[in-house]
Amino acid sequence: MITDKTQNKVKMSFHKLVLGFANEMALYILEEHGKDFDLSIKTHHGSRSYGGVGYITIADRHEAKPRKTAYTLKEYKSIANDAVIGTIKGSNETTVKALVAHEIAHWFHHSLMKEEGGDYWYRNPEYRKGYNSPHGKHWQEIYAELRIKFVN
């Protein structure tokens, strides 16, 4: 089941933009991998976005600014120069889509880890290093799939 929430300070146009992208990406990745995980899509007034088991939260600092036409979504140093999942420049819509894909990848990755390792999977160090680390190869594969399908 997919649900959504927003804070009063967040413009409804931004919330609807995020909601549209997130719904499309989540439904795709669930169907593509034959899974049925719950997702709560939230927008909030702030600077950090994040994703985990059951949710993504997107900060409104990524909302379009008047008279600004070029935007950049800077990725983590470890993936910034990657041709598929690296830092991206473009319209506000493009960079918000990339941000949503980043957080949807975290949600899906964490949901897979919970499915495999149980409710307390995150306490097991084996689930938080190497291939399954938060920005490890497994997450990168999911993120790349979303970036190729919806953004790049």
* List of long-range contacts for 108-114, beta carbons under 8 Å, 24+ apart: 108/26, 108/29, 108/30, 108/33, 108/35, 108/37, 108/142, 109/138, 109/139, 109/142, 110/51, 110/52, 110/53, 111/35, 111/37, 111/53, 111/54, 112/35, 112/138, 113/53, 114/53
Mean pLDDT lowest among 5-9, 57-61, 112-116 = 5-9
85-144 pLDDT per residue, tens: 999 999 999 999 999 999 999 999 999 999 999 988 888 888 888 898 889 999 999 999
Q: Residues of the chain with pLDDT > 90: what percent?
A: 79
Query: What is the spatial distance between Cα 43 and Cα 82, in angstroms, rounded to a whole number?
Result: 27
115-130 pLDDT per residue, tens: 999 988 888 888 888 8
Band (pLDDT 50/70/90 cuts) for residue 5 is: confident
Which segments of the chain are extended strands (E)?
2-6, 39-44, 50-52, 55-59, 71-73, 88-90
How far, rounded to the nearest angstrom, does the alpha carbon of residue 136 sit from its chain's CA centroid?
15
Band (pLDDT 50/70/90 cuts) for residue 1 is: confident
3-state secondary structure 82-116: CCCCCCEEECHHHHHHHHHHHHHHHHHHHHHHHHH
How far, rounded to the nearest angstrom, does the alpha carbon of residue 106 sit from its chain's CA centroid?
6
Global confidence as pTM = 0.94
